[in-house]
Amino acid sequence: MEYNEKGVSIVPSEFKKEIFEEARKDFRYEEYVRGCLNCGVCTGGCPPHRFFDFSPRIVLQNMKSKDPELIWTMMDEYIWACFQCFTCAMICPFLNSPGGIIAILREIAVRRGFESARKVLKPYSRVLLKLTAYGNQLSPDMIQPDFFPDWGPTIGYASTDLAVKRKAIPMPTLQVTNLAWDVAPETMKELYEIFDESGVFKIIESVDPSLYEIIQDIVDDVRSS
Amino acid sequence: MAENILVVGGGPAGLNAAVMLAELGVNVSLVERDSFLGGNPKKFKYKFLFPDMQPADNVIGELIKKAETGGNIKVYYSSEISDFKENGKKFDVTIKTADKNELKTFDSVIVSTGFEHFDPARDAKYSYQLFDDVIDIKDLERMMGEDNFVRPSNGQPPKNVAFILCVGSRDRHVGNQYCSRVCCTVSVKQAIELREHFPACEVYIFYMDIRTYGFFEDLYWKAMEEHDVQIVKGRIAEITSGPNNTVVCKGEDTLLRGPFEIPFDMVVLASGMEGGPQSSEISKKLGIGLDEHGFLKPENVTLSPFKSNRDGVFLAGACTGPKAISDSITEGAAAAMNAYTYAVKNK
Ligand SMILES: Cc1cc2nc3c(=O)[nH]c(=O)nc-3n(C[C@H](O)[C@H](O)[C@H](O)COP(=O)(O)OP(=O)(O)OC[C@H]3O[C@@H](n4cnc5c(N)ncnc54)[C@H](O)[C@@H]3O)c2cc1C
Ligand code: SF4
Ligand code: SF4
Ligand code: SF4
């Protein structure tokens, strides 16, 4: 992605510097990056460290190096290996937050529509749609075998006859399968304002333009109702 | 008439100050909170001292003997200062013993109230007190002093032992940012002693930096070259229970292996030194400064490390910060010299 056929980086160093400066200007940066003893406590407690070549100590050291090249190396796959559990921040003797740094770098990747962000966010497009267009997160009709392989063999049964199963829940529900809870149009309009103002819609447009279009159609409908 | 000088705290620093003053003919009152003299080395039965592994008794026992038999030194055991007032250039002090209060006037005062061992139970990641086989360097020192050198859980000799450095030091979580200075050397010394005692036992030291400063470095080299102690760079993130009655240390070997989980028969935590509750108490009672690390604050750390900010009150030993016995003894002598000069000048 960033190398030509001769193995030379084709990403200009100016651009890498810009990414680093963007991270450093984040209002959380000073709080997340302090001194570092290179002690490895963060990494010792980091769950993904056991499975991937990933280490919060390296994240923090790269950041402290102020070397845009080193920070750039993390922007592709590296930052997406983190679970955002913040164990590292809980146990670091310096009170650093490598997980927080990762959050800052991820936000940059998302804001700028980096390929790595698109790839990672793809499976979440249905959640993004429900959340931003309807103010819901997970609705019964999203329970489909393709999307929940981790549910194992029972997902097939769980995803059938949703309407009946929903009605059988012994407490008042919406009785529908496309929503988890009811959100009043007025509330939705306010939410759209927030998503507009905070740049959420813009981010979705840059990572997933077709999803953005679907969402905007719904937004327009609700706004004109 | 001879000068009267008060020494508070009968550890290595206070003992040496008292002994030197007595040799000058001063009447010394030595107030010790415990029922015995010798400070932490005596309390935890240190057996052999770094750097040269000489028996602790050569040093501590010797000082105690001099203080108890030298004349001129009145030792108040199980006692404390209950009242402290300035009286011109002198001090009116009430000494509270088990059965009475005694009011005395002193020409000058030496504070040598020492340190407390960091309590590792305060840092949950080490599971101290949760597992019998997780102990700390002072526990091990005492176990060795009592010739009871086995796994606490089952009384068997350990097959492998891990030392974990910087417990309670260099960690914002526990509020101690400073290095405790002696725990690297104590750990290396104990690692050697363990290897000598149990040649079949593997010994690991997990470190961030090995600070066997100055000549103490000799012990560190000896541990590697003559005793095959394994030195691994990485702080331990978690201690949990393992198979076959072991405790598992989890961490990152930052130089070689990456993530590791190693079961050990015994884990020894290198707990650091703290100013302890006595430092803030004595600071309030005597009106002398406390520093941001919780130790007593010298007037000038470089020029006069043995002087408090109050005229006539002097400091010696680990009450002003972590240090080895030799430094504590040196400071005891320096404080004695200064307290004596002050007393003579103001008589
Ligand atoms: C595990 C361990 C092993 C060590 N091994 C070595 C070694 O091998 N070699 C070496 O050089 N150093 C060693 N040290 C360092 C050594 O313990 C200290 O340098 C030394 O004890 C400091 O002497 P001190 O007199 O200043 O304080 P302490 O030994 O702490 O003595 C202070 C005394 O003051 C008394 N006291 C406190 N408050 C009051 C009060 N309010 N009123 C009256 N009395 C009071 C205490 O009861 C105590 O008796 C070791 C330290 C640790 C933690
Ligand atoms: S927040 Fe990320 S880096 Fe930190 S411990 Fe969790 S997974 Fe590891
Ligand atoms: S725990 Fe903190 S000090 Fe230690 S390596 Fe990680 S970031 Fe650095
Ligand atoms: S002496 Fe060693 S173990 Fe003790 S705090 Fe300093 S570096 Fe850590």
Q: If contacts are CB pairs under 8 Å, which of residues 243-262 in chain B contact chain A?
A: 250-254, 258-259
Closest B-chain CA to A88: B237
The pLDDT tens digits for A89-98 are: 999 999 999 9
Cβ–Cβ gap A91/B208 under 8 Å: no
Same structural domain for residues A107 and A142? no
Residue A1 has pLDDT above 70, yes or no: no
Query: Which chain A residues are within 8 Å of B124, Cβ to Cβ?
Result: none
Domain borders along chain B are 4-115+275-345, 118-272
Q: Do strands B27-31 and B4-8 pair parallel, antiparallel, or not at all (unpaired)?
A: parallel
| Site of tokens 């009811």 | A182
Domain ranges, residue A143: 121-223
CATH code where residue A70 lies: 1.10.1060.10
How many angstroms separate the CA atoms of A9 and A206, rounded? 24
Rounded to 5°, angle at Cα A140 from A134 and A144 = 115
- Asked if the bond preceding B120 is cis, omega within 30° of 0, the reply is no
Q: Tell me which residue of B80, B73, B113 sits closest to B95, measured CA to CA.
A: B80
Q: Which amino acid is at A26?
A: D
Per-residue pLDDT tens over the stretch A111-126: 998 999 988 888 788 8
Q: How far apart are CA A21 and CA A30, in angstroms?
A: 13
Examine the fold and report which residue of A112, A138, A169 is the final residue of a domain before the chain moves on: A112
A106 and A84 belong to one structural domain: yes
- Are residues B324 and B334 in contact, defined by beta-carbon separation less than 8 angstroms? no
Where b means 16+ CB within 10 Å and e means fewer, A8-28 reads eeeeeeeebeebbeebeebee
A176 pLDDT band, cuts 50/70/90, is confident
* Dihedral sign (CA A166, A170, A173, A179): negative
What is the maximum span of chain B, computed from C-alpha positions, in angstroms? 71
Is the domain defined by B118-272 classed in CATH 3.10.350.10?
no
HSE-CB of B202 using CA atoms within 13 angstroms: 9
Confidence of residue A164 (pLDDT cuts 50, 70, 90): confident
pLDDT tens per residue across span B140-195: 999 988 888 899 999 999 999 999 999 999 999 999 999 999 999 999 999 999 99
Band (A151; pLDDT cuts 50, 70, 90): confident
Of A112, A133, A168, the residue that ends a domain is: A112
8 Å CB contact between B271 and B111 = no
Stated pTM of the model: 0.87
Query: Which residue's CA is the closest to the ligand 3 atom numbered 8?
Result: A36
- From chain A, the residues in CB contact with B173 under 8 A are 91, 93, 95
Residue B85: burial class (beta carbons within 10 Å; 0-12, 13-18, 19+): exposed
Report chain B's mean pLDDT, rounded to a whole number: 96
Residue with tokens 């949990």: B240
Give the H/E segment covering residue B103: strand B101-106
| Gap from A196 CA to chain B (nearest CA, Å) | 40
Task: Look up residue A5 and give its DSSP letter.
Answer: T
CA distance B25 to B130: 52
In this prediction, residues A140-167 reach a mean pLDDT of: 81
pLDDT at A120: 86
Taking residues B93-119, what's their average pLDDT?
A: 97
**Residues 6 or more apart from A82 whose CB is under 8 A from it?**
A46, A48, A54, A56, A99, A102
Question: pLDDT tens across A49-74, in order?
Answer: 988 889 999 999 999 999 999 999 99
Partner residue opposite B252 with nearest CB, options A55, A93, A95: A55
A74/A20 Cα distance (integer angstroms)? 11
User: In this structure, what token pair is assigned to residue A138?
Assistant: 């997970």
Cβ B313 vs Cβ B286: under 8 Å: yes
Mean pLDDT across B274-279: 98
**Domain check: are A102 and A167 in the same one?**
no
Say if residue A77 is in the same domain as residue A165: no
Residue A82 lies in a domain: yes
Rounded to an integer, the average pLDDT of B106-114 is 98
Side chain identity, residue B177: Q
* Structure-block tokens of residue B37: 């003299």
Whole-number Cα distances in Å, B289 to A33, A145, B226, B292: 33, 69, 46, 10
Residues A200 and A128 in one domain: yes
CA distance B180 to B274: 8
CA B140 to chain centre: 14
User: Is A43 within 8 Å of chain B by CB?
Assistant: yes
Q: Which two tokens stand for residue B78?
A: 């199980």
Nearest CA in chain A to B206: A39
CATH number, domain B4-115+275-345: 3.50.50.60
How far apart (Å, rounded) are the C-alpha atoms in residues A136 and A121? 18
Instruction: For residues B254 and A42, give the distance between their C-alpha atoms in angstroms, rounded to a whole number.
Output: 11
Q: Most B CBs within 10 Å: which of A39, A61, A95, as the mutation test of the B interface?
A: A39
Q: Do A127 and A165 belong together in one domain?
A: yes
> Residue A201's Cα: distance from chain center in Å?
14
* pLDDT of the residue at A124: 84
- Total domains, chain A: 2
Do the two domains B4-115+275-345 and B118-272 of this chain adopt the same fold? yes
